[in-house]
Amino acid sequence: MGALMRTVRRDASQRVNNNGVLLAQSVIDARSHADSAPYLPLPNTSPALVSSPGLSDDTETDLDDDDEKRFTSSDRRDSAGTVLTFSSTFDDYDEGDSFDSSTPLRRSCLDSAGTTSSGDVDPPNPVLIRRHRRCILLALGVVLLLVSYLAATTQLLSSASSTFSSTLSRFSPSFLPSSSASSFARFLPTCTPTAWSSGHWAPLSPLPLPNSSIWTSSGFTSGCAQNWFRNDWYLGLVPPGDAAPSMEDGSWPMSEYRRRAGGWVWESGSEACRERVEWPWEKGAEGEWKAQAESEGVKGLLQDLVDRGGWLIVGDSLSEQHFFSLSCLLSAHVRAQWPYPPMSEWHQIKEEHLYLRRDSPLVLSGALALPEEWTDADYEERPLVSHVRSDHGFAPHELVEIYESATSPTSFSSASSSSAFTANSYPSLTAIGPSTSLLTSVETFSPSFSYSLSLFLAPSSPRLISRPVTQEGDSPSYAPETTPPSVLELERNGTRRGSYRALIFSTGAHFSTRHFNLPASDAQIDFFNAVFATWLDRVAEAGELEGKEILVRPTNSGHNACHAAREPLESEDPSRSTDWNWADLELMNREAQKMVEALNHPRITFLDIDRPGKLRPDAHTDSDCLHLSVGSGVVEGWTRYVAYWLHERELALDAKEDGEEMGRRMGGFGWLAKGLGWR
C-alpha cells in the first residue's frame, strides 16, 4: 500500500504541473485501488482546479455521498495519499512546497474562511460549509442537553410549575422607598384582589329552610370555638328590634332577615379566582360539595398555619368579628383562649387565641402533617390565630402625641416619623391647632403600638399590655388592676412557642366625633391619614420583617336602613352609606391604599377586598347596620382571600429561593434561571 501511495504522489505531482484537471482523476484512480485509505477532500477551491477545463460539478457530486461518509469516520486521520501541501486554511495549495506530514489538514470549527497564498478569498467550500453546519448543530445540541438537564431537576420542576407560566401576570416592577437602594417585584397572584372583588352575589339553591339552624345555613357544622360572649350578636341571631333569646346552641329559628342573608354565595370575578379562592372552601377531598367547615379549604388553611406561622389580627370590632368567624370555620380543630377579663360593658376582649386541638379529626387521621419539631407544648403555647383589639392602632396617649405633631409639624415628637409629617401635610388639623383637647369621654380600646408589634415579631418575649392611667383619655381597661400578674403569666405562656407569619390590620370606623373632638369630616380624614402614616412608618422601620407579611384590610362600610334590605346590591351605591361617618370610611380606605402603595415596601400590602361587603345591606347584625352577620359570607370571604394570597405568596417566594439557589449552582448560567421566571 505504501509503494502504491508513493507512486500516486509522484504521478499526481507531475500531472498537476501539466494539467490540474488530472489531479482529481489521479485521486479517484488511487482510491479505486486502495479503499482503506481515508478520503482526502478534493481541493476544488484551488485556483488551478477552478480554472481547469473539464472538471464539472458532477465530479464533486459523485464524491459527496459515499466519500463524505468515509471522511467523517471515527478514525478521521489525514489521508496517506496526500499529494499537496496546504496552508492552515486547508484550501490553499502552495505549488512547489514539499509535503510535511506534520501539517494539520483537519479544520476546527473556529477556523475562518480560506484564502489563497496571494491573499484572495477562496470561494465557499461545500465540505467546509457542511462541517461548519455540523459544528453549529453540535453546539446547539450541547445547549439543548444543558436545558434538558435543568428541566429534569427538582428545583426547576417545582419552580416552573408555580412561576414560569404566570410570571408576567404575577409581578409588576416597583421600587423600595427612597431610603433603600434596592428594588423588588411587587407580588400579584393569579387572582388579584381586584379580580376577586369584581364578582357578584349569586343565590344559593335551595335557600335555607325557615327552621334551619344558624350552623346549617352558615356552613359551621360544629359551632364556634369562641363561645363565651356575644355569639348572638356576631351571628346576627337576634331579630332586629327584639330581645336576645336564650342561648340554645344556635338551634332556634333564625329571623327572616338573617335567614335570607344566608342564602347567597360570592362568585369571584374570574374563573381563575373561583377555582383558586372559592372552590377549595366548597368541596371535599374527592371534589364533592361540602359545608365550608368540612372543606379542603379548612385543611389547606390549617396546614399553612402549622407550616408557615399564624395570623395576628389587629383592629377594631370588625376585626374581632373576623377572629370569631375563624373560630367557627375551624371549630372542629381548634380551641379558643382569652387570657384577660372582658373590657367594659360591651365585653370587648383585649387578646384572644386559637390553638390546634390534639383531638382534631385532621390530626388523628394524619391528614394534617405536623412539623417534625412539633411537640405537646405547641398545643398549649403556639396559637394559630390571635386577635388584639386595637381601634386605632395606638393607645390614647400615643394618639394625642400624633395629633400634636400633626397640628404643629415643627414641634417634632417621639410619636411622629420623618416621612409622616411635613409642613402643611394636614391643613384641616393645622387650622385647629394643638390646643384643642383631642379625646372625648368614650373609651378607646387600644394597647400601645409597641405591644402589638412586639407580639407579632417576638411572641415569646415578655411584654406588658397594662399602663397606669396617668392622663385624660387613658383606657382603664388596660390599667394594672385589670391585668393581674396571674393573667400576664397566662398570656405570656400562651404565646411562648408562637410564630406569626401575617399581621392583618384594619382601622377606620372609630375615626369619628364619637372618639375625637374634631369638627368636620375633613379633620377626621386628615387625622386618620396622620395616624395611619405613622403606623406604616413604624412598621416599615421595624427591620425584622423577613419571612413575615403585613396585610392592610380596608374597613367595611355600613348601609342606611339595612334591615329593610331583602337582597344584595348588583353594584355599589354610595348614596346608601351616608349615615354616621360611613361616607368617610370609603375615603379613608382609598387614602390608606395610596399610602401603602406609595411606601412600596416589599412586606406591606393593601388588599382591596371590601367590595363584596359594599353589596350586602342585607347581611348586617340585628343591632346596627355597620357590623356584619358572621356566616353570611362577607367576613368568610376575607378569610378565603387572605388564605389564598398568603399561600400563593409563599409559593412565589419558595420559587424565587429555588431560582437563586439554581443560579448559584449554575455559576455563569444564572441568567438562564432568571430568564425562566425566577427573580
Query: Can you spell out the DSSP letters for 449-493?
Result: HHHHHHHHH-TTS---------STT--GGGSGGGS-HHHHHHHHH
Residue 198 has pLDDT above 50, yes or no: yes
The band of 94, judged by pLDDT with boundaries at 50, 70 and 90, is very low
Distance of CA 318 to the CA centre of its chain: 26
Mean pLDDT lowest among 146-155, 469-478, 608-617: 146-155
Higher pLDDT, 564 or 31: 564
| Pairwise CA distance, residues 162 & 113, whole Å | 48
Residue reference for cell 425562566 = 676
The band of 589, judged by pLDDT with boundaries at 50, 70 and 90, is very high
The band of 124, judged by pLDDT with boundaries at 50, 70 and 90, is low
- CA nearest neighbour of 97 among 80, 113, 83, 111: 83
Around Cβ 477, how many Cβ atoms within 10 Å? 23
**Cβ(233)–Cβ(160) below 8 Å:** no
Percent of the chain with pLDDT over 70: 66
**Cβ(390)–Cβ(316) below 8 Å:** yes
Average pLDDT over residues 628-645: 97
Q: What is the mean pLDDT of the chain?
A: 76
- How many residues in total does the chain contain? 679
Determine the pLDDT at residue 349: 82
**Cβ(270)–Cβ(192) below 8 Å:** no
**Cβ(31)–Cβ(4) below 8 Å:** no
- Return the bridge partners of 338, or none: none
- Report residue 446: phi and psi, to 5°: -155, 130
Determine the pLDDT at residue 200: 98
Determine the pLDDT at residue 346: 65
Determine the pLDDT at residue 626: 96
User: What is the per-residue pLDDT across 660-669, written as a single tens digit (0 to 9) for each?
Assistant: 666 666 654 4
Average pLDDT over residues 556-565: 95
Helix (H) or strand (E) holding 313: strand 310-315
Distance (Å) of CA 422 to CA 259, 435, 533, 599:
51, 19, 12, 16
**Cβ(624)–Cβ(558) below 8 Å:** yes
Q: Which three cell numbers stand for residue 332?
A: 372542629
Average pLDDT over residues 347-366: 93
Distance of CA 358 to the CA centre of its chain: 31
- Return the bridge partners of 515, or none: none
User: What is the per-residue pLDDT across 281-291, written as a single tens digit (0 to 9) for each?
Assistant: 998 877 788 88
Percent of the chain with pLDDT over 90: 45
Residue 188 has pLDDT above 60, yes or no: yes
| Pairwise CA distance, residues 500 & 383, whole Å | 9
Angle between helices 317-329 and 634-666 (to 10 degrees): 80
HSE-CB of 42 using CA atoms within 13 angstroms: 27
Residue reference for cell 485521486 = 27
Average pLDDT over residues 409-425: 53
- CA nearest neighbour of 91 among 131, 124, 135: 124
**Cβ(274)–Cβ(280) below 8 Å:** no
Helix (H) or strand (E) holding 336: strand 334-337
Angle between helices 126-151 and 57-71 (to 10 degrees): 40
Determine the pLDDT at residue 207: 78
Distance (Å) of CA 632 to CA 21, 260, 270, 302, 313:
97, 9, 21, 22, 20
Distance (Å) of CA 346 to CA 48, 480, 512, 553:
109, 20, 19, 24
N-to-C CA span, the chain: 66
The band of 520, judged by pLDDT with boundaries at 50, 70 and 90, is confident
Cα dihedral 621, 626, 630, 633 sign: positive
Average pLDDT over residues 103-115: 46
**Cβ(150)–Cβ(156) below 8 Å:** yes
User: What is the per-residue pLDDT across 229-273, written as a single tens digit (0 to 9) for each?
Assistant: 777 788 887 655 555 444 444 444 567 888 889 999 999 989 999
| Pairwise CA distance, residues 116 & 91, whole Å | 8
Dihedral class, residue 241 (left if φ above 0, else alpha if ψ from -120 to 50, else beta)? left
Sequence-separated (6 or more) residues with CB below 8 Å from residue 304: 643, 646, 647, 650
Higher pLDDT, 28 or 120: 120
Determine the pLDDT at residue 384: 99
| Pairwise CA distance, residues 347 & 344, whole Å | 6
**Cβ(453)–Cβ(395) below 8 Å:** no
User: What is the per-residue pLDDT across 51-92, written as a single tens digit (0 to 9) for each?
Assistant: 444 434 444 444 444 444 434 444 443 433 434 333 433 344
**Cβ(458)–Cβ(471) below 8 Å:** no
Helix (H) or strand (E) holding 312: strand 310-315
